[in-house]
């Protein structure tokens, strides 16, 4: 344990986010009870297709979320080891590796049960508690790794579990009319994805043996849309100085928007978040007590490091005000969702994952965010095994320095494999960037 | 030309693909259309009178490319970006692709920024291979690529011209497949590096010119059948977008192996499947796209009803191969995903294999050599012990 962790907390986290912890725990308890309750279980990664499943009373397990949960609880080790034992190499997406490790443990337990050995995971063994799937749906935007992960999961279970693939093409945006959520490519791709989602619903009907409850989906999407609007409203208020909430608060708020049951609880959650943010703005309270720097965070989260990084930046008096991961994903365009006929808008939101637009559009969006939140610098987390996020990072860094004239710094880490993370490097790189910001300010003064 | 001269011509083109393209362009005045591997049908560009060229990993050290792509990417993508940033792709009029490996997408984005004056045409090919709409979507994709190519080259690609190009490509593939059969049968003593040069140069050269050389080569070999090479019969597997370094292939053979088959992209994967020569040519190309993954399954696609591991075991039986060396390009995610399936299947069937990870940067061949020698020893000992029948307990994996 390092000395920093023992000091009292400096980061002024939103109190409302505590509710997320409770909701998340309740959700996982529901997942772990699924088989006892005779529920069908669907494994999926990537796009938030959970409302489609929830409406049909299918328990949904998002692979990344499971891996992130294990890492956040520092319990990812056994699953990663199980994956490694089967030959999954360390350079593979660590989300996938961790989740596949859960599948390996699951299979092992099942085989042990067949042979009368043990077969029953202990309550502490969260990796093994993941209920096996009755179906797999793959709907991964941009990253080929997501689709292959699902395929390998299906193979791990002996190809006995029905799998459905939704192809979500990358928006290459080379045509003259191309732009963010506009142009012929956007329209055609949206229609292509929506068509497949309708077929996915047929697949779900085949699994449940019941007509699809469209009314229920409309109801859930009404909640999602409202929760998303509230979330964006609260995010917008963080243009204030000091910023009332940080990137790390938004990281904690990913589960409520992306994966928790789409009941009114998520609306209540984001209402509380929005209200607290508004209150802070009114009182001039910041997420960092002495906000001296405002930073943008590019890259996916280090799930084993969320609280720790929040604390680290707070101690540097640096408010991380926005990020690609949090501010460009997760039902990011509620305006596209028509709750009375939600499929097209859902598909379009899947198309706007923070990587699924090629660099011309992506970089414009990031530069706009940096301008909007008036950042002084950009911290780039080069996640070793998530190349979907690292792909455009040199281009982003270049644009940030050339177009905005802001400082950037990079550090290597990973989504859920802590071994790729080097603390000293983060310290020295961030410190060097903050010093450069200071020097620039002095010379400007 | 004798066979040595023909093979040397293939080797030259394989090692200097862009120089070949430059010379071709100077000679013909035609357009050169580069493509990223592995599924863009060169027939489309050929039918438009252009030279289709599959972009190759360069032997050069990566320098400027370091500022565009991280070092934890496969050698192909890093080298491609590096070549673009160095201006090596000036000879290419456009680049086309439809594949979507996540690293390739990153490379494509960087290439477009590095060479803004070169058109990069993309339309994503469906990689989920057994959906009811896969065939239709593949056709739509090839149609979209064709439309954009027509617009770019300012000339239509007529169906008849496309059918003619398909015939030219099929003829070339057929001849290379013939060489593959002869190599397996021991009637064409081609080394693994020579075979690579043949296939790799076919990805670059004007197809008719390549075919004419192949015909000569076949005639020479058939007129003077060489003695069948002796050694441990091996299948080489893996290595997708980039060609394994010839020195690795030679080292493996120098250790006492004879390569009798492969499923490398710079090998059998590239020429495995022909396109229907009659009917609608876009239908033919879409069917080809599906058929080649059923024929030689690729881990970059997802297809629940075919198994790469089963294909490999079957291929080895047909080739009477005694062992398999898996060549894995470092950081190649599709390969890393599938490898445990292959490993387990080989262990279950008692078939030995050795995994070698390759890198763009120069590799310590000495250390590798020891591993290969040990592996071949084990294979030989199994043979001596008469352990030819598959027995689960005898499966050996060396890593
Ligand atoms: S590499 Fe990144 S985007 Fe791709 S599956 Fe893994 S976490 Fe998702
Ligand atoms: S399939 Fe493998 S070799 Fe090809 S681009 Fe992707 S990672 Fe590189």
Q: Give the pLDDT confidence of B122-180 residue by residue, as tens digits.
A: 999 999 999 999 999 999 999 999 999 999 999 999 999 999 999 999 999 999 999 99
- Backbone CA torsion sign across B202, B206, B208, B209: negative
**Residue A12: partners with Cβ closer than 8 Å, 6 or more residues away:** A285, A286, A287, A288, A289, A314
Ligand in closest contact with the CA of B127: 2
Sheet strands side by side (includes A41-46): A59-62, A41-46, A135-139, A163-165
**Rounded Cα distance, B374 and A54, in Å:** 55
Q: Is the Cβ of B231 closer than 8 Å to some Cβ of chain A? A: no
B393 C-alpha vs ligand 1 centroid, how far in Å?
A: 36
Among A114, A358, A321, A332, smallest CA distance to A228 is for A332
- Quote the minimal CA–CA distance from B105 to chain A in Å: 8
Q: What atom of ligand 1 comes closest to residue B102's alpha carbon? A: 4
Q: Which chain A residues are within 8 Å of B302, Cβ to Cβ?
A: 138, 147-148, 150-151, 165
H/E run at residue B350 = none
pLDDT at B390 over 60: no
Closest CA to A100 of A78, A74, A123, A122: A78
Q: Which residues of A264-275 are buried (b: 16+ CB within 10 A; e: fewer)?
A: ebbbbbbbbbbe
Per-residue exposure over A107-120, b if at least 16 CB sit within 10 Å of its own CB, e if not: bbbeeeeeeeeeee
By C-alpha distance, the chain A residue nearest B67 is A394
In percent, how much of chain B has pLDDT > 70? 97
Confidence bin at B309 (pLDDT 50/70/90)? very high
Q: What is the pLDDT of residue A122?
A: 60
Q: What are phi and psi of B364, to 5 degrees?
A: -75, 95
What is the structure's pLDDT at B391? 43
Spatial CA neighbour of A350 closest among A118, A143, A111: A143
Residue with tokens 């000339």: B155
Q: What CA–CA distance (Å, rounded) separates B24 from B51?
A: 8
Average pLDDT over residues A69-76: 92
Question: Can you list the alpha helix ranges (DSSP code H) found in A14-73?
Answer: 18-33, 50-55, 63-72
CA-CA-CA-CA torsion sign (A204, A209, A214, A217): negative
| pLDDT for res B387 | 53
Residue for token pair 């400027």: B64
**Residue A194 at interface with chain B, using a CB cutoff of 8 Å:** no
Contacts A393 to B, Cβ<8 Å: 70
| DSSP 8-state symbol, B126 | P
**Atom number in ligand 1 closest to CA A146:** 5
Evaluate if residue B228 carries a pLDDT over 70. Answer: yes
In chain B, the N- to C-terminal Cα span, in Å, equals 43
What pLDDT band is residue B397 in, cutting at 50, 70 and 90? low
Q: Hey, whose CA ends up nearest to atom 7 of ligand 2?
A: B332
pLDDT the model gives residue A113: 57
Distance B311 CA to ligand 2 centre (A): 20
Residue of B nearest to A384 (CA): B72
**What pLDDT, on the 0 to 100 scale, is given for residue A261?**
98
What is chain B's mean pLDDT, rounded?
95
CA-nearest of A22, A443, A39 to A272 is: A22
Centre of ligand 2 from the C-alpha of residue B89, in Å:
20
A423 pLDDT band, cuts 50/70/90, is confident
| Contact between residue B309 and residue B241 where contact means Cβ atoms under 8 Å apart | no
Task: Tell me the average pLDDT of chain A.
Answer: 94
Atom 4 in ligand 2: residue holding the nearest Cα: B241
How far is the first Cα of chain A from the last one, in angstroms, to the nearest whole number?
41
Contact B213, B10 (CB under 8 A): yes
Are B124 and A170 in contact, with CB atoms under 8 Å apart? yes
Best interface-test mutation with B: which of A91, A140, A144, A383 has the largest number of B CBs within 10 A?
A144
Using a CB-CB distance cutoff of 8 angstroms, which residues of chain B are in contact with residue A384?
Answer: 72
- CB < 8 Å to B121, chain A: 174
- SS3 (DSSP) at B131: coil
Q: Which atom of ligand 1 is nearest to the CA of B333?
A: 1
Q: Do B100 and A393 touch (CB under 8 A)?
A: no
Strand arrangement of the beta sheet that strand A318-323 belongs to: A318-323, A293-298, A377-383, A407-413
Q: What is the DSSP letter of A61?
A: E
Any A CB within 8 A of B79 CB: no
> Confidence class of residue B363 from pLDDT cuts 50, 70 and 90?
confident
Rounded to the nearest angstrom, the minimum Cα separation between B100 and chain A is: 6
Task: Please tell me what DSSP assigns to residue B66.
Answer: G
CB distance B101 to ligand 2 below 6 Å: yes
**Residue B259 three-state SS:** strand
pLDDT digits (tens, 9 = 90+) for A300-352: 988 888 888 999 999 999 999 999 999 999 999 999 999 999 999 999 999 99
Query: Residue A317 — left, alpha, or beta (φ > 0 → left; ψ -120 to 50 → alpha)?
Result: left
Q: How far is it, in rounded angstroms, from Cα B23 to Cα B82?
A: 22
**What's the distance, CA A61 to chain centroid?**
14
Please say whether the beta carbons of A67 and A99 come within 8 A: yes
CB-based contact (8 Å) between A184 and chain B? no
Residue B221 has pLDDT above 90, yes or no: yes
- Please give the structure tokens belonging to residue B261: 């088959």
**CA atoms of B85 and B168, how far apart (whole Å):** 34
**Is the shortest distance between the CB of B104 and ligand 2 below 6 Å?**
yes
Counting every residue written for chain A, the total comes to: 445
Percent of chain B beyond pLDDT 90? 92
pLDDT tier for residue B368 given thresholds of 50, 70 and 90: very high
Whether residues B105 and A148 touch (CB distance < 8 A) is answered with no
Nearest CB to A151 within list B108, B124, B302: B302
* Residues facing A162 on adjacent strands: none
Interface check A316 vs B, CB under 8 A: no
Q: Do B304 and A159 touch (CB under 8 A)?
A: yes
Is residue A445 predicted with pLDDT exceeding 90?
Answer: no
Nearest C-alpha of chain B: how many angstroms from A388?
6
How many other C-beta atoms are found inside a 10 Å radius of the C-beta of residue A136?
Answer: 21
The length of chain B in residues reads: 399
Q: H helices within B90-133, ranges in order?
A: 102-114
Q: Which two tokens stand for residue A166?
A: 């939704």
Please count the CA atoms within 13 angstroms of the CA of B298 that sit on its side-chain side.
Answer: 25
Q: Hey, is the C-beta of A208 within 8 angstroms of any chain B C-beta? A: no
Enumerate the residues of chain A whose CB falls inside 8 A of the CB of residue B339: 87, 89
Q: Which two tokens mark B181?
A: 């059969």
**pLDDT tens digits, one per residue of A101-158:** 999 988 877 665 555 544 455 667 788 899 999 999 999 999 999 999 999 999 999 9
How far apart CA A165 and CA A158 sit, in angstroms, is: 17
| Residue B337 near chain A (CB below 8 Å) | yes
Written as six digits, the tokens of A236 are: 């917008």
Rg over alpha carbons for chain A, rounded to the nearest Å, is: 22
Q: Which residues of B touch A142 (CB under 8 A)?
A: 102, 105
A385 SS3 class: coil
CA dist B323 and B353 (Å) reads: 6
- Residue B379 CA to residue B376 CA, distance in Å, equals 5
> Per-residue confidence at B7, pLDDT binned at 50, 70, 90?
very high
Task: Provide the pLDDT for residue B392.
Answer: 37
Render the burial of A176-198: b for 16+ CB within 10 Å, e for the rest.
eebbbbebebbeebbebbbebbe
Distance CA A296, CA B59 (A): 38
Q: Does the CB atom of residue B38 touch ligand 2 within 6 A?
A: no
Q: How many CB atoms lie within 10 A of CB B174?
A: 13
Q: Which two tokens stand for residue B398?
A: 């060396």
CB A266 within 8 A of CB A257: yes
Size of interface A-B (CB pairs under 8 A): 127
**A309 prior amide bond cis, ω within 30:** no
């Amino acid at each position: 344990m390092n000395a920093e962790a023992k000091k009292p907390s400096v980061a002024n986290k939103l109190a409302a986010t505590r509710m997320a912890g409770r909701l998340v725990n309740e959700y996982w308890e529901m997942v772990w009870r699924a088989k006892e309750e005779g529920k069908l279980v669907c494994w999926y990664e990537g796009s938030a297709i959970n409302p489609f499943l929830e409406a049909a009373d299918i328990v949904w397990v998002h692979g990344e979320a499971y891996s992130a949960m294990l890492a956040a609880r520092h319990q990812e080790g056994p699953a990663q080891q199980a994956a490694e034992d089967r030959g999954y190499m360390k350079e593979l997406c660590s989300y996938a590796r961790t989740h596949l490790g859960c599948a390996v443990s699951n299979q092992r337990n099942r085989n042990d049960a067949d042979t009368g050995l043990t077969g029953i995971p202990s309550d502490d063994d969260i990796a093994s508690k993941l209920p096996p799937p009755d179906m797999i749906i793959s709907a991964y935007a941009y990253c080929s790794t997501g689709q292959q992960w699902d395929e390998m999961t299906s193979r791990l279970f002996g190809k006995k579990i029905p799998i459905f693939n939704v192809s979500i093409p990358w928006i290459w945006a080379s045509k003259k009319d191309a732009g963010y959520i506009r142009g012929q490519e956007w329209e055609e791709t949206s229609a292509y994805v929506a068509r497949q989602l309708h077929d996915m619903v047929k697949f779900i009907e085949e699994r449940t043996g019941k007509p699809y409850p469209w009314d229920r989906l409309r109801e859930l999407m009404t909640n999602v849309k409202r929760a998303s609007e509230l979330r964006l409203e609260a995010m917008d208020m963080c243009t204030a100085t000091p910023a009332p909430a940080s990137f790390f608060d938004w990281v904690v708020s990913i589960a409520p928007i992306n994966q928790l049951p789409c009941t009114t609880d998520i609306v209540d959650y984001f209402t509380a978040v929005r209200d607290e943010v508004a209150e802070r703005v009114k009182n001039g309270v910041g997420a960092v007590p002495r906000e001296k720097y405002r930073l943008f965070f590019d890259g996916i989260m280090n799930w084993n490091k969320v609280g720790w990084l929040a604390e680290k930046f707070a101690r540097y008096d640096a408010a991380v005000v926005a990020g690609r991961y949090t501010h460009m994903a997760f039902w990011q365009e509620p305006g596209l969702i028509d709750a009375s006929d939600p499929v097209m808008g859902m598909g379009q939101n899947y198309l706007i994952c923070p990587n699924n637009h090629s660099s011309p559009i992506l970089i414009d969006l990031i530069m706009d965010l940096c301008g909007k939140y008036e950042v002084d610098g950009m911290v780039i987390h080069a996640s070793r095994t998530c190349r979907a996020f690292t792909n455009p990072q040199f281009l982003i860094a270049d644009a940030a320095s050339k177009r905005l004239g802001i400082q950037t710094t990079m550090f290597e880490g990973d989504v859920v494999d802590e071994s790729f993370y080097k603390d000293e490097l983060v310290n020295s790189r961030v410190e060097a960037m903050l010093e450069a910001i200071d020097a620039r300010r002095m010379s400007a003064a | 030309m004798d066979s040595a001269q023909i093979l040397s011509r293939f080797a030259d083109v394989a090692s200097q693909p862009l120089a070949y393209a430059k010379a071709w362009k100077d000679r013909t005045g035609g357009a050169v259309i580069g493509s990223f591997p592995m599924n863009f049908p060169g027939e489309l560009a050929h039918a438009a009178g252009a030279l289709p060229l599959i972009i190759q990993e360069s032997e050069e050290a990566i320098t400027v490319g370091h500022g565009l792509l991280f070092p934890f990417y496969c050698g192909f993508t890093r080298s491609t970006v590096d070549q673009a940033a160095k201006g090596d792709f000036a000879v290419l009029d456009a680049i086309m692709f439809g594949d979507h490996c996540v690293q390739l997408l990153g490379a494509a984005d960087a290439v477009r920024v590095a060479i803004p004056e070169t058109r990069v045409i993309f339309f994503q090919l469906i990689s989920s291979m057994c959906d009811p709409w896969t065939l239709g979507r593949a056709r739509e994709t090839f149609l979209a690529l064709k439309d954009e190519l027509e617009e770019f080259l300012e000339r239509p690609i007529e169906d008849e011209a496309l059918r003619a190009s398909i015939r030219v490509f099929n003829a070339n593939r057929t001849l290379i497949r013939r060489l593959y059969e002869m190599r397996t049968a021991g009637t064409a003593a081609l080394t693994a590096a020579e075979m690579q040069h043949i296939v790799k140069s076919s990805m670059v050269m004007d197809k008719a010119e390549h075919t004419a050389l192949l015909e000569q080569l076949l005639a020479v070999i058939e007129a003077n059948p060489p003695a069948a090479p002796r050694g441990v019969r091996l299948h080489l597997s893996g290595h997708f977008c980039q060609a394994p370094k010839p020195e690795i292939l030679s080292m493996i053979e120098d250790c006492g192996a004879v390569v009798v088959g492969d499923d490398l992209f710079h090998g059998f994967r590239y020429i495995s499947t022909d396109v229907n020569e009659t009917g609608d040519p876009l239908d033919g190309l879409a069917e080809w796209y599906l058929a080649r993954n059923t024929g030689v399954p690729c881990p970059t696609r997802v297809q629940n009803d075919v198994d790469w591991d089963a294909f490999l075991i079957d291929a080895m039986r047909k080739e009477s191969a005694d062992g398999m060396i898996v060549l894995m390009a470092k950081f190649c995610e599709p390969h890393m995903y599938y490898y445990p399936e292959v490993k387990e299947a080989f262990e279950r069937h008692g078939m030995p294999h050795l995994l070698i990870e390759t890198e763009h940067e120069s590799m310590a061949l000495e250390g590798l050599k020891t591993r290969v020698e040990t592996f071949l020893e084990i294979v030989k000992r199994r043979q001596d012990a008469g352990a030819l029948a598959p027995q689960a307990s005898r499966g050996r994996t060396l890593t």
